[in-house]
Amino acid sequence: MAASELGIGIFDSGVGGLTVVQQLMAALPHEHLVYLGDTARTPYGTKSAAVVTRYTLENAQFLLDQGVKLLVVACNTMSAVALEALRRSTDVPVVGVIEPGARAAVAATRNRKVGVIGTEGTIASGSYTRALRALDPGLEIYTRACPLFVALAEEGWVDNAIAEQAAAMYLASLRQSRIDALVLGCTHYPLLARTIAAYLGPGVQLVDSATETAREVAAILAVRGLAAPPGPGSTSFFVTDVPERFIRIGSRFLGSAVDSAVRIER
Ligand code: DGL
């Protein structure tokens, strides 16, 4: 089989990475996407960098064993703490979500005041701050961990009073800082985009790294001659715990039904 005919491996701590899969399906309809959600060990956002790095390498190995031509780390926490370790461990191209998100934020801001929200692990790592500064050293960057947003997104409480209150509590300091672009630096946050936008007002552009990541994947495939030949694409899902919950709530993250998922043993 030619390398271009191989699948793209995508992984996340659970359902969140399906927001990235949604964008990949739209941008690359001929590709075969193979997704792994580590539902048995989610969430990663509250775990140490050492543990997240170990899990990242294990998840990647499962997908590499399936024979994939490229890996997408569709999780901000893993991208923030383990991308370099993963790149060192494989020859397959690895795309994370941090650099694409940072690029989109730099393109979006006019006043050069950028906010970043994410899990505790992502914010503590400083990865977005480093990626943004590398692109524009003069940026003012304001960050905030918003751990409750993950639970709210999974619960489907994305636009009720509790979501609005959480947004107000987490985002007050960012609003005061007069940012005009905010990176949604967690797979789950695009589901809360309307509530976040309503609180921050029309002057703040929300940056969803999933869209930009899909663009980067398309560019890498094109440059390396790895784009799939024309024909119908496919998507298959693997999980590390029983699949019912993933299938049930996954459709909200994917934007279409998750028909089935296969449990793998860990
Ligand atoms: N996927 C994670 C991220 O984007 C959020 C969920 C978790 O904490 O595992 O950071």
CA 68 – CA 132 distance, rounded (Å) = 30
pLDDT for position 106: 98
88-111: pLDDT as tens digits: 999 999 999 999 999 999 999 999
Cα 201 → chain centroid: 24
The answer to whether the CB of 16 is under 6 A from ligand 1 is yes
pLDDT for position 184: 97
Q: 58 to each of 54, 184, 223, how far by Cα in Å?
A: 6, 26, 28
pLDDT for position 1: 86
Q: What phi and psi, each to the nearest 5 degrees, are found at residue 20? A: -75, -40
- Which portions of the chain are predicted below pLDDT 70? none
pLDDT for position 109: 98
Q: What is the pTM of this model?
A: 0.96
Output the six-digit token pair for 87.
């790149």
The answer to whether the CB of 37 is under 6 A from ligand 1 is no
The answer to whether the CB of 163 is under 6 A from ligand 1 is no
CA 90 – CA 88 distance, rounded (Å) = 6
Beta bridge partners of 73: 11
One-letter amino acid of 266: R
pLDDT for position 266: 76
57-66: pLDDT as tens digits: 999 999 999 9
86 CA to centre of ligand 1 in angstroms: 17
Q: Any alpha helices (H) in 75-118, and if so which ranges? A: 76-89, 98-108
